[in-house]
Structure 1
Amino acid sequence: MTSPILNHKHYGEPSVFTAENLLREARRQKGLAPGNVPPICILDPDGDIGRLLLNTGRARRSPEWACYHTELLVFEEAGVKTGLVRCAVTAAWLDTSAPV
């Protein structure tokens, strides 16, 4: 006998939990407009670099970042717009080259 929760599964079908769907729903729930991620992004697992950039006024939080578990800081270094994803220790990673 099979548990009812296992019936009618479509294992061969693509997942509905795609990066696009997850980000679209996060934007909807948070009331955010779509935005883009800077061409260069750095992971800051414990947030130390981001804390320094914020405390010295060199970075700002991205208002378009839809992720619930991290935050994206944006700053310029040598004239290049750069992103810093803070507190990424336990976050599941998506392809951030896609629009957020």
Structure 2
Amino acid sequence: MEQWDLHEYFLCTDRLTEATLRSHCDGIKDTDTSLPQRAGKAYAALMRNMGAAVPTTQLIQPRGTGRKQNVLTVRSIVKPNIDVDHFVDVLMSLGARVGPKD
């Protein structure tokens, strides 16, 4: 939720002039009074954690085989605007994999 607050308040992915951004921030105060505080806290936490080390992922040893398995780590990144072309590609790929069963 904090990433959404950052994007909603600061409009990180939009290229705005300072005046447009200021008017957006002033307008937000009328509709969602706690958003500036939430976004500020999220920004402060982000800045604190920028220098923090990412925890290492431990490999899982399957029982009895002695081989190491690959470990998949997933971290979410908020992208407030949907990339429609990429979304269509994913759906088409999924449809090709699942496909109609004969």
Normalising by the residue count of structure 1, what TM-score does the alignment of the two structures yield? 0.19
Normalising by the residue count of structure 2, what TM-score does the alignment of the two structures yield? 0.19
Larger Rg, first or second structure (1 or 2): 2
Higher helix share: 2
